[in-house]
Amino acid sequence: MNLLLLETATEACSVALLTGGQVIARYTTEPRVHATRVLAMIDECLAQGQLRGRDLHAIAFGRGPGSFTGVRIATGVVQGLAFGLQCPVIPLSTLAAFAATARRVHVMGRIAVCLDARMGECYWGTYEVANSGVATLTGAERLAAPEDLQLPDGDEWLAVGSGWRAYPDLASRLASGIVRIEPDLLPAASDMVATAKAAHTAGAMVGAEQALPVYLRERVAWRS
């Protein structure tokens, strides 16, 4: 399988290419370079893998939630590539990408992802991540006030994402179920490979016109 993956919904911009069982990756956390770097990173991965765009079997991307601009960049690039190449798309949750990266870095399988969504709210999702790296959502992804969030039953959760720093009262309230907090961890496209492969096997693919961002917040209100 030749599978291209993009994740640009956070401060990190990353691209990965799965080909011949090998993963080729590019990753940067340079500020405000996503729009200018992501296409070059794709070209670099394809060149290293000795592939052309037409050789791809699917394109996976982090659909959000996350930075509004970052999510739009990934969506626009993937839609353009998929239309031009007539290639199916695998939309993946950016929160699941956080969980998969956390599993690799900290070797823990229960991940609570909380991102600062501003306006006193969080993007929230809890995941079980298998040894294979496949991230499975427990419950539902939500946009909620921190005081409304609860961990699923059980303990030994690894907490990742900017929301844990932005809302310290949340961490204090849920401390009994949390083993460790890593607010600075960022997702990498290379960690999405296992989840993307599982989605591909399950046929969870869409056409380019259905490769849409997920913001969770449907409406943004200006507040004075």
* Residue 221: inside a domain: no
Q: Look-up: residue for tokens 């626009």?
A: 76
Kindly report the pTM of this predicted structure. 0.94
Report pLDDT for 223: 35
User: Helix 193-201 crosses helix 94-106 at what angle (to 10 degrees)?
Assistant: 130
Report pLDDT for 33: 87
Report pLDDT for 221: 40
Segments forming the whole domain that contains residue 168: 94-182
62 and 77 together in one domain: yes
CATH of the domain at 156: 3.30.420.40
Q: What are 103's two structure tokens?
A: 């599993």
* Residue 24: inside a domain: yes
78 and 19 together in one domain: yes
Q: What are 169's two structure tokens?
A: 């009262």
7 and 85 together in one domain: yes
Report pLDDT for 83: 96
146 and 120 together in one domain: yes
Q: How many domains does the chain have?
A: 2
Tens-digit pLDDT string for the chain (224 aa): 999 999 999 999 999 999 999 999 999 998 788 999 999 999 999 999 999 999 999 999 999 999 999 999 999 999 999 999 999 999 999 999 999 999 999 999 999 999 999 999 999 999 999 999 999 999 999 999 999 999 998 889 999 999 999 999 999 999 999 999 999 999 999 999 999 999 999 999 999 999 999 988 654 443 33
Q: Look-up: residue for tokens 């296409």?
A: 39
Report pLDDT for 32: 83
85 and 98 together in one domain: no
State how far the alpha carbon of 105 is from the alpha carbons of 28, 122, 147, 163, 176, in Å.
Answer: 17, 23, 28, 19, 22
137 and 64 together in one domain: no
117 and 139 together in one domain: yes
Report pLDDT for 218: 58
DSSP of 171-217: HHHTGGGEEEEETT----GGGGHHHHHHHHHTT--B-GGG-----S-
178 and 118 together in one domain: yes
* Residue 200: inside a domain: yes
Q: Look-up: residue for tokens 């994402």?
A: 161
Q: Which of 166, 187, 186, 164 is nearest to 177 (CA)?
A: 164
